[in-house]
Amino acid sequence: MKKLLFLLLAAFPAFSYAQKDSILVLSDVHVHLDTTWSTFYHTDTDSSLFLSAINNIKPGKYPFIIMPGDLLKHKGHSKQVMKTTFAYIIKHVQNIDKRAIMLPALGNNDCMAHNIPNAETYDVFYKSLLKPIDQNGKIKKTFYKGGYYAYEKNDLSIIVLNTVLFMSENKNLAPAAQAELKWLEYKLSTLKRNQSVWLVYHVPPGIDRYSKSPSWQDSIQLAYTRIIKKYASLIKFQLAGHTHMADVKLMINNGKLLSPVVIAPGLDTRNGNNPAYQVMHYNKQDKKINEINTYYTDSISNLKWHSFTFKDLGFKFLLDCNHGSSIGTGFVKHYTIDRGTTKSADGSTIAWNEDFCTTSKIDH
C-alpha cells in the first residue's frame, strides 16, 4: 500500500499538493492608530507598517487566519479604543481572504487593564471579534466565563485558550486558570480518536529567554503538562505568541518530544525583533504542520519584505543540542527575525549553546 501511495505521489504531483493547506498567522500586531513613527524600530505598530504587511500577504485560500493575541497597543485601553482598533484590524485582515475563519486569542495587552482579563474585556473582545463565527452560542458561553473557546470544523478542533490567566504575576487568578484547565481536559475527553486538535494561546509556557524566569505559575504549568501527556496523540499543533520572537518550547517526556509549542514572531518590533508574520503549511489528513514560512522587513529595506523557511519541525537539533549544528545556529539567527543578536535582562547574549537548548525544554 505504501509503495502504491509513493507511485501515486510521484506520478501526480498535484495530488501531493492537494493534501496541503495553509494558515496565516499574525501575532502581536500591537496596532496603534493614533501615531506615526519617525523611526523604524519602536513600541507598537503604526498603520503604515501594518498595511505594508497586509498588502504583502499573497491573496489565497486560508481556511484559518490565526492571531495569537496582542492585537492592541501596549498597556491598557478604553472601550472605544478597543472597538475602533479591532474593527480596523478585522476590516483589513478579512480582505486577505473573505472566506477565512479568523481565530484570535486574548493577549495580555488586549485587556482593558494591562495583564488583567475581566468581564468588560471579554465583552468587547467577543462582540468585536468572535460573534461573527459563533454560530450556536457555544463560543460566547465559555469566552464570557474565562476568555477561552473552541472552534470545530469537520475533524479538526481548534481550542483557543486564555493563558493570560496562567501568567506568573497572576497568581490571584489561579482559580480561574484551574477552571479553564478543567474545561480543557473535559473538552479533550469528548473528542473522538479520528479528531485532531490545535491549541492556540498567547503566553507560552516554560522559561522566558529574556527574563530567565517562569512565564506561567508552576502549579498551572504542571497541571497543563499532565493534560498534554494524556491527550498527546490528539494534539497535532500548539501555537503561541507574546515574546515577538520566532521560537519554540518543547514539551518532552523521558527525553522524547511530546508536543512542541511553536512561538510566532510579532509584527511589532518592541522586543528587539524585525516585524514579521508567518504562513504555515499543514497536511490535510493528519493536520500536522510541516513547513513555516516567515516574512519580514527591516530598517534598511524601505518596507520591502523578505522570507525564510523552516521545516525541521521534529526539533531533533534542540533535543540533541549539538553545538556545531548549523540548524541550531540558523534557528538562533532567525530568533530575532534576522535583526541580530539580542540579550537577556541580565546582559547575557542569547546564543546557540547549552542554555538555549535547556530553556527550550519543558520536562515534568
- Among 75, 25, 57, smallest CA distance to 280 is for 25
What pLDDT score was predicted for residue 364? 75
Looking at 149-193, list the stretches that DSSP marks H as alpha helix, in order from N- to C-terminal side: 174-189
Phi, psi of 24 (to 5 degrees): -100, 130
Distance CA 95, CA 46 (A): 19
- Give 264's DSSP letter: P
pLDDT given for residue 8 in this prediction? 47
DSSP 127: I
Q: Is 326 exposed, middle or buried (0-12, 13-18, 19+ CB in 10 A)?
A: exposed
Residue 103: is it exposed, middle or buried by C-beta count within 10 angstroms (0-12/13-18/19+)? buried
Residues in the chain with pLDDT < 70? 1-18
- C-alpha cell read off for 189: 475527553
Instruction: Judge whether 225 and 216 are in contact, CB under 8 Å.
Output: no
3-class DSSP assignment, residue 106: coil
Rg (CA), the chain: 20
Task: Give residue 96's pLDDT.
Answer: 95
pLDDT, position 75: 84
Please provide the DSSP assignment of 28-80 as one string.
---B-TT---SSSS-SSB-HHHHHHHHHHSPP---SEEEE-S--BPSS---HH
C-alpha grid cell for residue 144?
Answer: 464570557
Detail the DSSP E strand segments found in the chain.
20-25, 64-67, 101-104, 149-153, 156-160, 196-200, 235-240, 247-253, 256-263, 276-283, 289-296, 306-310, 361-363
Q: Are 257 and 250 in contact (CB under 8 A)?
A: yes
Of 268, 263, 267, 224, the C-alpha closest to 247 is: 263
Q: In which residue are the cell numbers 534557528 written?
A: 331
What is the grid cell recorded at 168? 506568573
Contact predicate 259/252, CB 8 Å: no
Using alpha carbons, select from 207, 152, 150, 267 the residue that is nearest to residue 162.
150
**What is the structure's pLDDT at 251?**
98
